[in-house]
Amino acid sequence: MNITKELFGKSNDSLDVYLFTFTNNIITVKLINYGGIITSILVPDKNGKIDDIVLGFKTLKEYQKRNSYFGTIIGRYANRIAKGIFSINGIEYKLALNDGKNHLHGGNIGFDKVVWRAEEIKKNHEVGVRLSYISKDMEEGYPGNLDVSVDYILNKNNELLILYEAICDKLTIVNLTHHSYFNLAGEGKTDILDHKLMINADRFTEVDGASIPTGEIREVKDTPLDFTTAEKIGSRIKKLKGGYDHNYVLNKDKDFSLAAKVFEPVSGRIMEVFTTEPGLQFYSSNYLDGSFKGKSGKLYDKYFGFCLEAQHFPDSPNHPEFPATLLKPQEIYRQKTVYVFSY
């Protein structure tokens, strides 16, 4: 188990941004403390060939310029809030409208665009980085001073743990997630349509044309969203406008359980996702259009990556029937999501 640290660049507000590289001698993870971005995950295939399986860029300037959340921490609120408005105890809060008429992924300067404090973690059988950040009261319109920490830990079992904690001094809402674009065939090589995906969910939250929940929870059976048994991502994608960008209501028989499993047949790589969260957003990179050149010099086209974002449901503050995202003063928000790699 080993970890190194090097300067990656300076943020727009002249803060030092560092690249941390940590490895268990099989899997290697690279991340920067700007946005908590995972810039690289190096994983062997069934023949021992190592490839980078996440999309990303070479330089800090490129991450700052792009706005597609490559590899970032998302907060304070992952996914969308309708019309950028929510209420707590009769007090209405207004957020930035950065997704048409709605609020997306924490606003104009969400957790994906700030420099986090970073501390190395090194133990006998695990290595990683603890990131921490204080989001000030009314930052991006959210109430309360929110003290957040996110641990990225790689262990000897080829598991990448993401452990979130947050505490606030006021009633607020919190919904954090991670937004890596994965491609188990290797970054920039091809699309993800032949990946076989299983999602442990019988239901999903129906949305309108702006991806805002209607409030109805529907069965996936007999729809293109049914991944209860493994299916190729591309097998029914053309039946959906644009592609997949849906929140699945996970089948939960215990607090921490399997959410999804992905298999790439050529490389033999497998990725499993376990989480404590009630939902999982499956996104098939519908908005990539070949205009982004990735770190290996290849253009990222439509369907060149997939995201599996463990989360609470979109727009939950405006849907009391959904699992609550309200955080009480001095109560501790906790979330655990684990990506497990094999080949």
When computed from its CA atoms, the radius of gyration of the chain, rounded to whole angstroms, is 19
pLDDT at residue number 174: 98
Catalytic residue among 178, 179, 195, 246: 179
Cα gap 32→49, rounded to integer Å: 25
Q: Give catalytic status of residue 231 as yes or no.
A: no
Domains of the chain, each with CATH number or no CATH = 2-342 (2.70.98.10)
The alpha-helical segments, DSSP class H, found in 176-266 are: none
- Quick: pLDDT tens for 281-299: 999 999 999 999 999 999 9
Q: Where do runs of H (alpha helix) occur along the chain?
A: 60-65
pLDDT category at 333 given cuts 50, 70, 90 is: very high
Query: Cα dist. 111→17, 175, 296 in Å?
Result: 15, 11, 26
Residue 67's pLDDT band (cuts 50, 70, 90): confident
For residues 285 and 304, the answer to whether their CB atoms sit within 8 Å is yes
Backbone angles phi, psi at 63, to 5 degrees: -65, -40
- Tell me the whole-structure pTM to 2 decimals: 0.97
Euclidean distance between CA atoms 75 and 47, whole angstroms: 38
Active-site residue 179, yes or no? yes
What integer pLDDT is reported at residue 336 of this predicted model?
A: 98
> What mean pLDDT comes out for the span 321-335?
98
pLDDT at residue 279, rounded to an integer = 98
* CA gap 115, 34 in Å, rounded: 4
Segment 316-329 shows an average pLDDT of 98
Residue 61 pLDDT > 90: yes
Q: 108, 99 in Cβ contact below 8 A?
A: no
Instruction: Compute the mean pLDDT over every residue in the chain, rounded to the nearest whole number.
Output: 97
The pLDDT score that the predictor gives to residue 66 is 83
- The predicted-structure confidence for 100-146, as pLDDT tens digits, reads as follows 999 999 999 999 999 999 999 999 899 999 999 999 999 999 999 99
Average pLDDT over residues 146-165: 98
Q: What is the pLDDT of residue 64?
A: 95
